[in-house]
């Protein structure tokens, strides 16, 4: 089961929860206030590799198509 990030609209708290995929936001209970007013947030993730391994992680200059040479 993946861990999702949520924001509770009732008490304005950010929290993480281990939730089954496909579970509607209305079923998520805020651990602080207990209400079911959570909204799933867009998460940032890391691939865990390096650019030399071909994982897509590149420097900002390489991602713009610039080789870095003048």
pLDDT at 43: 75
> How far apart, in Å, do the first and last CA atoms of the chain sit?
48
Of 69, 61, 63, 16, which is closest to residue 38 (Cα–Cα)? 16
**Model's pTM, two decimal places?**
0.60
Task: Give every residue of the chain whose pLDDT is below 50, as ranges.
Answer: 57, 59-62
CA dihedral 3, 6, 11, 13 (to 10 degrees): 70
Alpha helices in the chain (DSSP H): 60-63
Q: Check residue 24 and give its pLDDT.
A: 95
Structural domains in the chain, CATH included, are: 1-43 (2.20.28)
- What pLDDT is stored for residue 32 in this prediction? 97
Q: What average pLDDT does the structure give for the chain?
A: 80
Note the pLDDT tens digit of each residue in 45-65: 767 766 655 555 454 444 555
């Amino acid at each position: 089961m993946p861990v999702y990030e949520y924001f509770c609209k009732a008490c304005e708290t950010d929290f993480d929860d281990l939730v089954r995929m496909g579970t509607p936001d209305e079923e998520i209970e805020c651990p602080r206030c207990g209400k079911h007013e959570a909204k799933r947030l867009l998460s940032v993730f890391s691939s865990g590799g390096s650019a030399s391994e071909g994982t897509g992680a590149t420097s900002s200059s390489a991602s713009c198509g610039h080789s870095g040479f003048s």
